[in-house]
Structure 1
Amino acid sequence: MKTQWSLIAALVIALLTAVFAVINVKSVQVNLLFRTVNVPLILLILGCTLLGGLIVGSFGIFRQYKLQREIKRLTTQLHTLQEEHTPAVEAYADTVYNTSGSSSSVSTSDKDTEQTSSDLDRLSK
């Protein structure tokens, strides 16, 4: 939904810019530091708008690229941590269930193991 509103806002701004550019068709003098040129104002407005859009778009693409790299790094780190801790939790659960004697009685250590397992499941999501 946010993307749709952004697209609508961009179209409205583009329409207003086009109307503003069409109204201003006179030729203006532009100083380029090393030379002065006469350019129709419509081309100047449209060119500056296009250049601004390209600059903002490139910043957005760069930010998205950085966020995707961060997501990949964090996902890799999560998988590494899960691989390191899963055998330890399983070994702990085996020792607790094997030493308790009966599977019908639940001791406090069994509750701790179940809580640790549920914590790992929650982290993996």
Structure 2
Amino acid sequence: MKGQGILISALVFAFLIAIFAVINVDSVQVNFLFTKTTLPLILVILASTLLGGLTVGLLGMIRQIRLQRTVKALEKQVAELTNEAGLLGVSSAGNRMEPKDVARPQSE
């Protein structure tokens, strides 16, 4: 459901930007660092929106990758600690258990 809400809000936002861009079709002077040019305002609005969206998307992907790496490292750490606890004979509740791999002496 959350993904659908985000998709719908993104479509509404894109629709509003498109309407705003179509209303503003006059030519404007754009000053880059090294040159000046005249472009239709609709292109400036659409290009700015696209670059902003790509920037936010890229930063979100970088954050997601970092979080996935952290999760994998923590899962590995949990597995190691669980394995170590099993070898020591400690249950997940912290109670002492009989070690599984240690042979008990047979009573006669």
Give yes or no for TM over 0.5: yes
Equivalent residues in 2 for 1:79-94 (5 A)? 79-89=79-89, 92-94=96-98
- For normalisation by structure 2, the TM-score amounts to 0.82
SS at match of 1:94: coil
SS at match of 1:37: strand
Tell me the residue number matched to 2:62.
62
- For normalisation by structure 1, the TM-score amounts to 0.72
Q: Which has the higher contact order (CA 8 A, sep 6+)?
A: 1
Number of equivalences: 95
Out of 70-79 and 32-41, give the one that drifted further: 32-41
For structure 1, the 5+ residue unaligned runs are 99-125
Structure 1 vs Structure 2 CA RMSD: 1.6
Q: Percent sequence identity over matched residues?
A: 52
For structure 2, the 5+ residue unaligned runs are 91-95
Instruction: Give the whole-Å Cα distance in 2 for the aligned partners of 1:75 and 1:82.
Output: 10
Deviations 1:12-36 (A, max 9, x none): 0000000000011111011112211
Equivalent residues in 2 for 1:1-125 (5 A)? 1-89=1-89, 92-94=96-98
SS at match of 1:38: strand
The structure whose Rg is larger is: 1
